[in-house]
Chain A
Amino acid sequence: MTIKHHLSDQLLMGYAAGNLPEAFSLVVATHVSLCDECRARLGAYEAVGGAVLETETAEMSEASLEACLARLGQPEAPQKPVPRRGFLPTPLADYVGGDLAQVRWKPLGMGVRQAILPTGKGASARLLYIPAGQSVPDHGHRGLELTLVLQGAFRDDKDRFGPGDVEIADESDEHTPIAEAGADCICLAATDAPLRFMALIPRLLQPIFRI
C-alpha cells in the first residue's frame, strides 16, 4: 500500500494528547494501523507528552508510596497482539463488530450505501460504499471532514486518494469526488458537522446532487 496523503500534525498531536472526538480518533487509529510513517510521527508526539510530563511536579502525601506498594499484585502475563483477521483494520473492526460482511449498510440511492458507526458526541463516523465510477454524494463541507480510503479510490479535480490515503477537508473545500472505475470504493468518513445526508433527504435532493 503506497500512502500519499497522511494525517496532519494537528490530528496526530491531538490524538497523542487524547483530545480528539472519538470519530476522529477512529480515523487516526485506523490510518496509523495502515501507515508506518504516521505511526512513527505519532510516536514522536507521544514523546512530547513524555517531555511535558517531566516538567511539573505536585507533592504526593507521605503514605502514598506505601499504599501503592501494598496494592501491587501479580503483574499481567505478556500477551501476543492479536493479528488482523479480516479486511478491516482492528480498531475499525471493533466498531463494526466484525469484518466487511458484518457492516449493516443502509442504501442512499444509486448504489451508494452508508453505515453510521456508534461514536461519542462532537463528531460522527460512517462507512461509505460508492460503486466504481459513481460520484460521492454530499460535499460542501461544514466543519472538518476526514475521509480514509479502505478499498478502491476516488478522485477530485486536484488529487487521487487510494487505499490508506486520508483526505482532510474543511469549509474552504468545495469539490465533487468521483469513485474511480475498477473496484468499488469503501471509505471511513468522520465529520464534526451535523450529518447531512440521511437516507430520505438525498432521495429528495437527487436532481440537485445528481446522485
Chain B
Amino acid sequence: MTSDHAADMTSDHAADIDRHVRVYITVFVALMALTIITVAVSYLDLPPAMAITVALFVATVKGSLVACYFMHLISEKRLIYAVLVITAIKFVALLALPAITHGNGYWIHE
C-alpha cells in the first residue's frame, strides 16, 4: 500500500490489492451510513451540547476512516507519523486559542 508496494508491482500483489479493495468498499458503506446518521440525529433537536458532541464524534469517526484506509495511514512509515504528531499538537493548540482568550478575561460580554 505504501510507495515500496508501488515500486514492486508484481502479480504477488494482485491478491493484496484485491483485499484492499474489499476494505475500501466496506469503508465506503460505513461512511455512507454515518452520513445518514449525522443528518438523522440533527432532526432529533438534541440540546446543543449533546448535538455538538454527537456530530463531532461521528465526524471524527468518519475522518479517521478516510485517513486510515483511503489515505493508508493505518500502515505508514514512521516519518509521516512524526510529521502528523507535530501537526496534531499544533492543531489542538490552535483550537484551544479561543478558550485561552476566554480564560484571560479578554472576552466581551453583553
Partners in one complex: no
Give chain B's interface residues, CB within 8 Å of chain A. none
